[in-house]
């Protein structure tokens, strides 16, 4: 979307068959479009950690950003405040906070590599284990993390968007070791 007006118009258009609970503008302005206890159509087809129909199991937050630029401070601050409230009201643990690219790696690229997952993790709002693990099979580690079945290159890209945002090219030992670390950290949380 070109801006907040276009985004809200699309999310409120019944013929578009897409909606979200919340929308946050780059300047930090927040709109609630769907009640939290109602189903929104923000995620589309996808899965996470063996669960399908993510729309019925999640609260969708859309950030107005093309992904080509960093997410502005006011937007990230608003997001963090909103997430604190949501996670408290709905008892959502940090390891259950995901992006669209996590649950639908073949279809979605947002929030993309410029999104600051580490910042959210430092605030207790997402996970970001530090370090590297053993050099294990990457696809097995991605299964353990929760990524749904998809072509390997899409799963790798979704993982990198989240945990190795500057990585590019074919799979590396660093990818495998980072995925192993994330999988082990998540296993310890569950």
d(Cα 25, Cα 33) in Å, to the nearest integer? Answer: 13
CA 173 → CA 15, 45, 105, 152, distances in Å? 45, 31, 21, 15
How far does CA 61 lie from the centroid of its chain?
Answer: 10
Of 5, 17, 62, 171, the catalytic one is 62
- What the block records as the tokens of 17 is 């068959």
Q: In what order do the strands lie in the sheet with 30-32?
A: 30-32, 22-24, 61-63
DSSP secondary structure code for residue 148 in this structure: P
The 10 Å CB-count burial string (b at 16+, else e) for 40-76 is bebbeebbbbeeeebbeebbbbbbbbebeeebbeebb
Burial of 15 by CB count in 10 Å (0-12 exposed, 13-18 middle, 19+ buried)? exposed
Q: 144: Cβ–Cβ under 8 A, 6 or more apart, which residues?
A: 183, 186, 187
> Is 5 considered catalytic here?
no
Residues with a known catalytic role: 62
């Amino acid at each position: 979307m070109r801006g907040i007006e276009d985004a809200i118009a699309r999310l409120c258009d019944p013929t578009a068959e897409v909606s979200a609970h919340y929308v946050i503008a780059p300047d930090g302005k927040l709109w609630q479009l769907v009640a939290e206890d109602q189903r929104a159509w923000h995620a589309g087809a996808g899965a996470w950690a063996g669960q399908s129909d993510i729309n019925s199991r999640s609260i969708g937050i859309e950030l107005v950003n093309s992904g080509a630029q960093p997410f502005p401070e006011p937007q990230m601050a608003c997001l963090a405040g909103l997430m604190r409230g949501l996670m408290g009201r709905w008892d959502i643990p940090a390891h259950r906070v995901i992006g669209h690219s996590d649950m639908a790696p073949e279809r979605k690229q947002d929030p993309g590599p410029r999104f600051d997952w580490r910042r959210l993790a430092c605030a207790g709002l997402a996970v970001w284990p530090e370090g590297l693990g053993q050099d294990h099979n990457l696809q097995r580690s991605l299964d353990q993390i929760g990524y749904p079945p998809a072509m390997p290159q899409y799963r790798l890209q979704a993982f990198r968007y989240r945990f190795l945002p500057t990585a590019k090219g074919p799979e590396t030992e660093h990818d495998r070791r980072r995925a192993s670390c994330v999988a082990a950290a998540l296993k310890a949380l569950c």
